[in-house]
Amino acid sequence: MKPKYNFFKNTGYALCGLKFMLLNEKSFKIELFIIIPLIIFSLFLRLDLFAHLLLIAVLFLILILECVNSAIEACVDLCSPDFHPLAKIAKDCASGAICLSISLAAIMWAFILFDLWF
């Protein structure tokens, strides 16, 4: 039987996941250390609302994918504690998604800042 939906319990689970990320995932901490100042910096730029939201959204995408990557890694480690080529592929693909999101953020920031200053 499926458990009953409870907004507050589900929010608690989400907060536990974020707490885990903050306490245990070094890459998440590093990304947060870079992203928070960028978000603050973006608020001082003379941009329209859409550009502000775009700059912030691509930064949040990095954090979102870092959470998904950690979840995939935990599941793979649980299912396959020993080395397996398919486990490596799953982990590498999840890391590739983070790399692509960082590239997307860098490109979006570069285009918007270039357009703002030139």
Tens digits of residue pLDDT in 23-54: 999 999 999 999 999 999 999 999 999 999 99
Q: How confident is the model at residue 4 (pLDDT cuts 50, 70, 90)?
A: confident
Which CATH topology does 25-117 take? Helix Hairpins (1.10.287)
Tens digits of residue pLDDT in 8-23: 888 999 999 999 999 9
- Catalytic residue chosen out of the listed positions 25, 31, 66, 73: 66
DSSP secondary structure string, 43-81?
HTS---HHHHHHHHHHHHHHHHHHHHHHHHHHHHHHH--
Which pair of structure tokens corresponds to residue 29? 């901490």
Task: Note if the pTM is more than 0.85.
Answer: yes
Residue 66 among the catalytic residues:
yes
With 0-12 / 13-18 / 19 or more C-beta atoms within 10 angstroms meaning exposed / middle / buried, residue 9 is exposed
Q: How confident is the model at residue 3 (pLDDT cuts 50, 70, 90)?
A: confident
The helix (run of H) or strand (run of E) holding residue 2 is: none
